[in-house]
Chains A and B, each alone.
Chain A
Amino acid sequence: MESANLPLRATAVRLALFNHKGGVGKTTLTMNVARAMAKLGKRVLVVDSDPQCNLTSLLVEDEVVNDLLDTSDAPEGQTIWSALKPIVEATGDVRYIPPIELPHGMFLLPGDIRLAEFEQELGTMWGECFQRRTRGFRGTTALSTVVNQVVWKYGIDYVFYDSGPNIGALNRTILLDCDFFAIPAACDLFSVRAIKTLGHTLANWIRDWDTIAELAPKDIYLLPGQPHLLGYIPQRYKMYGGKPSMQFAPFIPLIEKTVRSDVIAVLTRVNPLLVAEAVSPLRLGGVKDFGSLATASQREGVAISEVSTGTQEQRDIAEDTFEDLAKRIIDRTSGAVMR
């Protein structure tokens, strides 16, 4: 179909657990699912693409984080900003930075508070893509290019972007670089409300990018711009008698209904293939409120199943929860490498 001389995209499966509503547990979920996937034998890269750097703080000791952020603007910088800086300052192409290696075949591209500066430029670069300016294309695909380099060098199978809770320019390029996304949702009304804007925003991003890509010079590296929905993941509900408690249970069908009406229906109008993997059950799994274990996980920088507190039974439940999610995601995305 496409001509053979297109600039290459690394073939790892890229995905984001994305919801622009804050506090739905995106970072904790991303970290735990990524780790579960790594334990299943996949080589997983997590990209901390949130200027808040929560994921990096979670996975890397404070001293190291401080050091990374102190030196990231210098020529020897090692964060995602260090990689992108030449693009923002128009001094050259992205710089390769090696990821931080974590246990179980998991790798981290450390985040940076300065990503906010990159995001500001991305707004302008988006307009430049509409004008067919090389700078616009280079900037908009910069993060994707940084990821390509790591994927090739480390033989990565899966890339997880952890993004901030907003629908800004940075998340737009991230979602357009993703092959897949899933929607984590807390069991409350605000979370349901957010899903409505999510679907429409994504549809607009995809349409706009399609226009840009239709007119872009043929030999230029572009984002794929076709994030496929995998499903949703209800989060942080309390359990009672083995089921989500009365306080939370009614929200799950409400979330499902909203995903169907405001994401699936909306994306189908853009391109039915975008929801081809969003098969039944739409709910990919569920992450109950792990309470003190979740807190301990954040404090200790390990998966919920690996914390030093709680009972073995609680840790086993956590292990199974994220393993099931990881397996389902692998299952639904397995056709992707061939695309």
Chain B
Amino acid sequence: MTSPALETDYMETIDGLVSHFQDNLPVFETFLKQLRSVVEHATLQPYIHSIKTRIKDPNHLRNKLVRKMVVALEGGPPFDYTSENLFRQINDLVGVRLLHLYTRQMGDIHRILTDLLDEHRFTVIEASARTWDLESKAYFKSIGIETRDSDSLYTSVHYIVDPTARTPRTAEIQVRTLAEEIWGEVDHTINYPRKSESHSCREQLMALARVTSGCSRLVDSIFATHIDSLRAASEALTVVSADGPATARPR
């Protein structure tokens, strides 16, 4: 299924928008470097497994705009992209993804990341978690992140940031666990840019979401246990050294 042929006028509009983006690539590259230097800050490193960054491929932007145009022509939401608002309307022209191990790290990550962004004078215009799990929903709320339901079972925390510069421009920072990344990557490969027509694949993806969600939850539990045991060990050590000769027993 290729995208339906659009009339020349519509294609010219889209081409104009794409070339406007291409003309501005040096600015987006610098924007990305600036964001990288924020997320690579030492205070965040203990929580982060890895960082992925990318600037949107102009061809992917073109496809996205074509899809939006088709939807608009079919009576859906109007196509309201212009060269004045393109960089604000499309949030993921610059994308940064932070991967971490387990969901309960998110409280610290959220606090440190928003502080860093603030210090670097980026405005967070939106911070929200896509989730379908009731327990996660309650957790995100408790750390001050609003949640959105996710019918596709996609889960991730999204930040939309704006440098508050002379041209409005946004970037997206995604934060998710390694297990969520597995689901996200499998889903992306199978369903993007064209949705898989296989019913079984869809079914299996729904099941995979339960597995990866359970996996994140299990890692939460493992680390909770691990931290407890470290704490117990360190208390034992304190007791030993307070009682007599400071001889910690070798393990």
Partners in one complex: yes
Q: How far is the CA of A2 from the CA of B167 in the complex (A)?
A: 10
- Contact flags B96-118 to A (C-beta < 8 A → 1, else 0): 00000000000000000000000
Residues of A within 8 A of B30 (CB): 130, 211-212, 215
Q: How far is the CA of A59 from the CA of B165 in the complex (A)?
A: 43
Known A131-B34, A131-B37, A132-B34: A207·B26 in contact at CB below 8 Å: yes
Inter-subunit contact A214/B166 (CB<8 Å): yes
Residues of B within 8 A of A132 (CB): 34, 120-121, 163
How many contacts between A and B, using CB within 8 angstroms?
A: 41
Residues in chain A within 8 A of chain B (CB atoms): 2, 130-132, 207, 211-218
Least Cβ–Cβ distance between B65 and chain A, in angstroms: 22
Q: How far is the CA of A216 from the CA of B27 in the complex (A)?
A: 11
A134's nearest neighbour on chain B, judged by CB, is B121
Q: How far is the CA of A130 from the CA of B163 in the complex (A)?
A: 13
Q: How large is the interface on B (under 10, 10 to 19, 20 to 34, 35 or more residues)?
A: 10 to 19
Inter-subunit contact B37/A211 (CB<8 Å): no
Residues of A within 8 A of B165 (CB): 213-218
Which of B26, B33, B34, B164 is close to A218, meaning CB atoms less than 8 Å apart?
B164
Q: How far is the CA of A144 from the CA of B30 in the complex (A)?
A: 24
Inter-subunit contact A215/B26 (CB<8 Å): no
User: What are 26 A-to-B residue pairs whose CB atoms are below 8 Å?
Assistant: A130-B30, A130-B33, A130-B34, A131-B33, A132-B121, A132-B163, A207-B26, A211-B26, A211-B27, A211-B30, A212-B30, A213-B166, A214-B24, A214-B27, A214-B165, A214-B166, A214-B167, A214-B169, A215-B27, A215-B31, A215-B34, A215-B169, A216-B165, A217-B163, A217-B165, A218-B166
Inter-subunit contact B163/A215 (CB<8 Å): yes
B34's nearest neighbour on chain A, judged by CB, is A132
A210's nearest neighbour on chain B, judged by CB, is B27
Residues of A within 8 A of B166 (CB): 2, 213-214, 216, 218
Q: How far is the CA of A216 from the CA of B167 in the complex (A)?
A: 10
Q: How far is the CA of A229 from the CA of B33 in the complex (A)?
A: 32
Instruction: Given contact pairs A130-B33, A132-B121, A212-B30, enumerate 7 new A-B contacts (beta carbons under 8 Å).
Output: A132-B163, A211-B30, A214-B166, A214-B167, A215-B27, A217-B163, A217-B164
Least Cβ–Cβ distance between A224 and chain B, in angstroms: 13
CB-CB contacts below 8 Å: B6-33 with A: 24, 26-27, 30-31, 33
Least Cβ–Cβ distance between B168 and chain A, in angstroms: 10
B166's nearest neighbour on chain A, judged by CB, is A218
